[in-house]
Chain A
Amino acid sequence: MNLRIDEELCLRCGACVEHCPGDVLEQDQDGRPFEKYPDDCWYCGVCQAECPAGCIELLFPYLIR
């Protein structure tokens, strides 16, 4: 787990999914983004930068924290 997404704030717009350079994220049936391939994350922060609601917090993988 690299991200914490605030579900209350999330607009379900899919911007994070669309722009993730690693194809890490996907939207579930309700449009909620989740890390489908967390091992492929580079913690580059594109998802955070693209989020219009500012609802993504970067946690970094455990060995790096």
Chain B
Amino acid sequence: MGNIEVVGADFLILGGGAAGCMAAIRAAELAPSMRVVLVEKAEISRSGAAGRGMDALNNVVIPGVGSVDEYLEAVEIVADGVLEPTISRVIAERSFSLLQRLEAWGCEFPRDSHGRYMVGSFHPKGRFLVEMRGDLKKILARRVASTQAKVYNRHVALTLLREGDHVAGAIALDLKKGSLRAFTAPAVLLAMGGAARIGLPNTGYLHGTFDCPWCNGEAWRMGFQAGAELTGFEYTATSPMTRDFNGPGLSTFIRHGAWLVNGLGERFMERYDPVRMERAPAGVRAQAIWEELRSGRGPVAFSCTHLPEETIRLIEEGIFETERPTMRDYFARKGLDLRRDPVEVVMSEVYLCGGHGLAGFVADAFGETRIRGLYAAGDCLANPYGFLVGAMVMGEVVAERVASRRELRPWRPELGESLACMEETLARHKRGALGATVKEFEYKFRRLVNEYVAPPKSGAKLTRFLRETESMVQDQEDLPARDPHEIMKVMEAKAGLFCARMAALASLYRTESRFGLYHYRVDFPQRDDLEWKTRVILSPGPGGPVARKERP
């Protein structure tokens, strides 16, 4: 066993996306003497799902425009009745003060001619979406840099450390040096995002996903192995995204009044949700598009051709200048003009996400999981449709909790066993006896996800997936990795397979249909509120993962 550097901290944050950065900033504000350490596998000014930019805060309760109760009703609709509202309430109550803080730090929130925030509708009811401009992650990273927090960029968190029933730190891989580094802390925040690379996009590119492809459920695998519980894994989301580019725009198009049209030129949502139309819950919208395509009425597209020039400009400004400027290049390459051309969409690969889905760690109102000292925030927390606001609010909430608890005693977990275990794991990957590459391995299970886990689902298909991938759980330990980057890819692939299997397990357990297309079981096509208006919780058990209802 080699000697490794051990970094002691009071508050260890794994993942420097929006949630992780906010946690670091808030912790530093409240406790300037606290040793805050932030571990990030990329570089915090450009990392995470919001790394390139975001053109709106989707869920802000602005006084006079919306109310917390109205927001909770909207999220309840989106979550199709299985909402555990505690965290959603916290997010709603703090959302406007978060906006004000961001504005004070330099984020731009454009105003209309009356000086009011530009608020739009994205949820099935209410108006909570606020237009945003500016480079959010750059702003957050600068704030982090002004605190005492120590940032370790290009460090891949590999495993959590425990001391008894308490979390005690983590072991990470220094991507540039190729060496391991241990971090010990009495409080650890998992803020490492959702899982984007679960299904396979129709382009075939492993990283050509809708959601940020470098977040692949590593936090979920690590946290579950440490004893934390997960929920919402049967909410296998798939979103209508710009064909091939698989790029953002969905919420931008919808809030600005774009229509979904089929190949016959029909605004087909009239057939599926005549009241809410394009603003129907995501799963209902997905089911409608799937039905249109299946019936041969494709291609399906977002049409903006009926919108006035000023609205088109707002859409272009949001997507092309703030959220994903490379989409402008893509549109130019394809000769697309929103004024004239419908933008064809296809259903994205299946993904799992807390922020724009229901999947994530089960946690209390302070973001603490069922493992003492282990917290979660952002897309890896089950903060149903909390989006970016949810990530940042819960990052702050966790920091406040950690600062108030003052469990800042030195923490010296027994490193030996965990370290030896990790070193053995890495040595085995270096030997790489599988005879297949990590890309082949990933392609294989993701292709199986498309066939057997992606909706429409059935017991037969889900069982088949679990059986077919059983041997891959053994195979994964012999995946080859020649350098630190490849070790990162192996860890992402392992986490992806773990998440896919958890999705299959949760989907198999929920013997009804719910969430529109997302959990449509052909063998249980009816929704059953009496039995199933409850979350499905996955817990680690001695014989493997165990599924149960939250309310029996």
Contact (Cβ within 8 A) B207 A50: no
B409 interface residue (CB < 8 Å to A) = no
Contact (Cβ within 8 A) B154 A22: no
Chain A residues whose CB sits within 8 angstroms of the CB of B213 once the complex forms = 22, 40, 42
Contact (Cβ within 8 A) A45 B244: no
Contact (Cβ within 8 A) A44 B324: yes
Chain A residues whose CB sits within 8 angstroms of the CB of B47 once the complex forms = 21
Residues 236-253 of chain B: 1 if any A CB is under 8 Å from the residue's CB, otherwise 0?
A: 000000001100000000
Within 8 A of A (CB), among B193-226: 203-209, 212-214
- From residue A42, how far is it (CB to closest CB) to chain B in Å? 5
Residue of A nearest to B247 (CB): A43
Contact (Cβ within 8 A) A58 B329: yes
- From residue A20, how far is it (CB to closest CB) to chain B in Å? 7
Contact (Cβ within 8 A) A22 B326: no
Chain A residues whose CB sits within 8 angstroms of the CB of B46 once the complex forms = 19-21, 46, 50
Chain B residues whose CB sits within 8 angstroms of the CB of A19 once the complex forms = 43, 45-46
Contact (Cβ within 8 A) B244 A64: yes
Considering the chains assembled together, what is the distance between the CA atoms of A39 and B485 in angstroms?
12
Contact (Cβ within 8 A) A40 B51: no
Chain A residues whose CB sits within 8 angstroms of the CB of B48 once the complex forms = 21
Residues 21-54 of chain B: 1 if any A CB is under 8 Å from the residue's CB, otherwise 0?
A: 0000000000000000000011101111001100
- From residue B420, how far is it (CB to closest CB) to chain A in Å? 27
Chain A residues whose CB sits within 8 angstroms of the CB of B51 once the complex forms = 21, 44, 46
Chain A residues whose CB sits within 8 angstroms of the CB of B41 once the complex forms = 23
What's the count of A-B pairs with C-beta under 8 Å?
82
Residues 290-329 of chain B: 1 if any A CB is under 8 Å from the residue's CB, otherwise 0?
A: 0000000000000000000000000000000000111001
Contact (Cβ within 8 A) B326 A44: yes
Q: Tell me whether A39 and B52 are in contact in the complex, defined as CB-CB below 8 angstroms, given that A45-B324, A64-B203 are known contacts.
A: no
Residues 18-45 of chain A: 1 if any B CB is under 8 Å from the residue's CB, otherwise 0?
A: 1111110000000000001101111111
Considering the chains assembled together, what is the distance between the CA atoms of A21 and B533 in angstroms?
39
Q: Tell me whether A39 and B326 are in contact in the complex, defined as CB-CB below 8 angstroms, given that A23-B42, A23-B175 are known contacts.
A: no
- Residue tally, chain B, CB below 8 Å to A: 33
Chain B residues whose CB sits within 8 angstroms of the CB of A43 once the complex forms = 245, 326
- From residue B505, how far is it (CB to closest CB) to chain A in Å? 29
Considering the chains assembled together, what is the distance between the CA atoms of A20 and B213 in angstroms?
13
Q: Tell me whether A21 and B42 are in contact in the complex, defined as CB-CB below 8 angstroms, given that A39-B439, A46-B51, A49-B325 are known contacts.
A: yes
Contact (Cβ within 8 A) A22 B207: yes
Considering the chains assembled together, what is the distance between the CA atoms of A23 and B488 in angstroms?
10
Q: Tell me whether A21 and B214 are in contact in the complex, defined as CB-CB below 8 angstroms, given that A44-B51, A60-B333, A64-B208 are known contacts.
A: yes
Chain A residues whose CB sits within 8 angstroms of the CB of B206 once the complex forms = 39
Considering the chains assembled together, what is the distance between the CA atoms of A65 and B331 in angstroms?
10
Chain B residues whose CB sits within 8 angstroms of the CB of A48 once the complex forms = 325-326
Considering the chains assembled together, what is the distance between the CA atoms of A45 and B323 in angstroms?
11
Contact (Cβ within 8 A) A58 B489: no
Considering the chains assembled together, what is the distance between the CA atoms of A47 and B209 in angstroms?
18
Q: Tell me whether A45 and B489 are in contact in the complex, defined as CB-CB below 8 angstroms, given that A22-B214, A39-B439 are known contacts.
A: no
B330 interface residue (CB < 8 Å to A) = yes
Considering the chains assembled together, what is the distance between the CA atoms of A49 and B48 in angstroms?
16
Chain A residues whose CB sits within 8 angstroms of the CB of B207 once the complex forms = 22, 39-42
Contact (Cβ within 8 A) A65 B326: no
Chain A residues whose CB sits within 8 angstroms of the CB of B45 once the complex forms = 19
A61 interface residue (CB < 8 Å to B) = yes
Interface centre among A23, A37, A45, by most chain B C-beta atoms within 10 angstroms, is: A23
Residue of A nearest to B208 (CB): A64
- From residue A37, how far is it (CB to closest CB) to chain B in Å? 6
Chain A residues whose CB sits within 8 angstroms of the CB of B324 once the complex forms = 44-45
Residue of B nearest to A61 (CB): B205
- From residue A6, how far is it (CB to closest CB) to chain B in Å? 16
- From residue B228, how far is it (CB to closest CB) to chain A in Å? 26
Chain B residues whose CB sits within 8 angstroms of the CB of A22 once the complex forms = 42, 207, 213-214
Chain A residues whose CB sits within 8 angstroms of the CB of B205 once the complex forms = 39, 61, 63-64
Contact (Cβ within 8 A) B212 A42: yes
Considering the chains assembled together, what is the distance between the CA atoms of A43 and B48 in angstroms?
14
- From residue B192, how far is it (CB to closest CB) to chain A in Å? 13
Q: Please list the residues of chain B having a beta carbon within 8 angstroms of any beta carbon in chain A.
A: 41-43, 45-48, 51-52, 154, 175, 203-209, 212-214, 244-245, 324-326, 329-330, 333, 439, 485, 488-489
Top 6 A-B residue pairs of the complex, sorted by shortest distance between their CB atoms: A45-B326, A21-B42, A19-B46, A64-B244, A63-B203, A46-B46
Told that A23-B154, A64-B245 touch, could you supply 17 new A-B pairs with CB distance under 8 A?
A19-B43, A21-B47, A22-B207, A22-B213, A22-B214, A23-B488, A36-B485, A39-B439, A42-B207, A42-B209, A42-B212, A44-B51, A58-B329, A63-B203, A63-B205, A64-B203, A64-B205
Offer 30 A-B interface pairs, CB within 8 angstroms, sorted by A: A18-B43, A19-B43, A19-B46, A21-B46, A21-B48, A21-B214, A22-B42, A22-B207, A22-B214, A23-B488, A36-B485, A37-B485, A39-B207, A40-B207, A42-B214, A44-B51, A44-B324, A45-B324, A45-B325, A45-B326, A45-B329, A46-B46, A46-B52, A48-B326, A49-B325, A60-B329, A61-B203, A63-B205, A63-B208, A64-B330
